[in-house]
Amino acid sequence: MMSLTEKKCVPCEGGVPTIQGQEIENYTCQLKSKWTVVEEKLLRREFTFPDFVTALAFVNKVGAIAEEEGHHPDLHLSYGKVVVELWTHAIQGLSENDFIVAAKIDALGF
């Protein structure tokens, strides 16, 4: 089976079911444990940094992944902290794209 980091996001235009229930667990077990699933609607992980500029550098690295994948997180940047939230807007919930991007963010090694 391909790992999430080997996969590429596919454009999502809606009309597909969201990932729910046990299937969510099948995906989260492939991620670092620091991701939380919020109301089966989104993935959330908080990253901490020594200062604002290193947090901003991380945001730019995540932004490059998002642009490469065509799938974009919500990012909340503050001094020494970045909150990353991933959900698929087109279906108002979770798709495999969210887990692919999360895995590629994990692979940054922060």
Ligand X SMILES: C[C@H](O)[C@H](O)[C@H]1CNC2=NC(N)=NC(=O)C2=N1
Among 15-23, 35-43, 45-53, 66-74, which window interacts with ligand X (CB under 6 A)? 66-74
* Residues touching ligand X, count (CB under 6 A): 9
- Close Cβ partners of 20 (under 8 Å, ≥ 6 residues apart): 40, 93, 94
Size of the chain in residues: 110
Minimum CB separation of residue 41 from ligand X in Å reads: 12
Give the residue among 47, 40, 32 at the shortest CA–CA distance from 88: 40
Minimum CB separation of residue 9 from ligand X in Å reads: 8
Which string of x and - marks every residue 74-103 that binds ligand X (by CB under 6 A)? -------------xxxx-------------
Between CA 40 and CA 24 the distance in angstroms is: 8
Asked if 7 interacts with ligand X (CB under 6 A), we say no
Asked if 15 interacts with ligand X (CB under 6 A), we say no
Between CA 39 and CA 58 the distance in angstroms is: 26
Work out the burial of residue 18: count CB atoms within 10 Å of its CB; fewer than 13 is exposed, 13-18 middle, 19 or more buried: middle
Residue (61 or 72) nearer to ligand X, CB: 72
Among 25-33, 47-55, 57-65, 70-78, which window interacts with ligand X (CB under 6 A)? 70-78
Which parts of this chain interact with ligand X (CB under 6 A)?
11-12, 70-72, 87-90
